[in-house]
Amino acid sequence: MSVRDWDEAEVRATVEDYLDMLALELRGQPYSKADHRRRLLQLLRGRTDSAVERKHMNISAVLSDAGLPFIEGYKPLGNYQALLTEVVHERLSVSRPLLGEVERISNETPPQQQPWREADPALEVPRPDPVVREKAPGYVVPSPRAARYNYAERDAANRKLGELGERFIFEVEKKRLLLAGRDDLVKEVRWISKDVGDGAGYDIHSFDPSGAELFVEVKTTNLHRRFPFIVTRNEVRVSEQSRERYRLYRLFQFARDPHFFVLPGALSESCSLEPRSYTANL
């Protein structure tokens, strides 16, 4: 028996339910995915729990491809239904409160003393599992003309956010060495991007407890741990050349509840790199 396509009413109900949950998550308010799913199933025609979960994962993929945050518990699942992306983008175009909440969170600045007072190596968490963009059978890739939002680019351009995040990790690195009994190395840790400039391909020159050099790059966001970030060609090059010593610290939910994970080695191996711009020469 062939799988029946989701009709417009089902898609709209599911998108509305997902965006309601996303708004609650962005505001830090608790909610129950199971309760939402039970209410949603009453509006659908014989769908199963697993079918609804896959559709929610499809919506995460639409949002991720548009450069927007998504519900972290629903990993992106593509190749999604063309109708789905149309409904999501239509809903976003009139959902100013949701986009306004993303904007507000993205631009939050921690209290001036918070970053270095609360910097603690214990705030490190495991890196998230990589997302595999599985193919959902019978679906088509949507038009590339769908709207894109530039919050990752805004994070990269937000100099105050970047500076506070770097100082946070600068303090984390010093405390990490203190805890390892390497007081002698603490004074040798240098904030390169502040003292020298941005061209080195990393932000902080640090050490591991054995005394080996570490080149630390810091990427900071107020959004969730899976939110994408911008890396430069120079950062990718340095990570390739110094893969044994290169570390990228991803600092997330910085203004509200800062935590970080570490990506060691070459960025081309730890991340899926997507080119976004080109230099055009005539």
Q: What is the pLDDT of residue 136?
A: 46
235, 206 Cβ separation under 8 angstroms = no
Rg of the chain over all Cα atoms, to the nearest angstrom: 21
- Amino acid letter, 129: D
Q: How many CA atoms lie within 13 A of 187 on its CB side?
A: 2
Reported as type and span, the H/E element at residue 90 is helix 82-94
133, 78 Cβ separation under 8 angstroms = yes
Q: What is the pLDDT of residue 144?
A: 46
* Distance in angstroms (rounded) separating the CA atoms of residues 156 and 158: 6
Strand order in 213-220's β-sheet? 190-191, 204-207, 213-220, 246-252, 259-264
206, 173 Cβ separation under 8 angstroms = yes
- Paired with 205 in beta bridges are 190, 215
In 3D, which of 241, 220, 129 has the Cα closest to residue 166?
220
Residues carrying CATH 3.40.1350, the chain: 154-270
* Distance in angstroms (rounded) separating the CA atoms of residues 76 and 116: 34
Q: What is the pLDDT along the chain (282 residues), one digit of tens a residue?
A: 346 789 999 999 999 999 999 999 888 889 999 999 999 999 998 899 999 999 999 999 999 888 889 998 898 887 788 899 899 999 988 877 788 888 888 888 776 555 556 789 999 999 988 765 554 444 444 454 456 677 788 888 788 899 999 999 999 999 999 999 999 999 999 999 999 988 899 999 999 999 999 999 999 999 988 888 999 999 999 999 999 999 999 999 998 889 999 999 999 999 888 877 666 666
Q: What is the pLDDT of residue 269?
A: 93
Reported as type and span, the H/E element at residue 252 is strand 246-252
Give the fold, CATH level 3, of 154-270: Trna Endonuclease; Chain: A, domain 1 (3.40.1350)
* Distance in angstroms (rounded) separating the CA atoms of residues 246 and 213: 9
Could you tell me what percentage of the chain is helix, strand and coil, using 3-state DSSP and rounding each to the nearest 5? Answer: 45, 10, 45
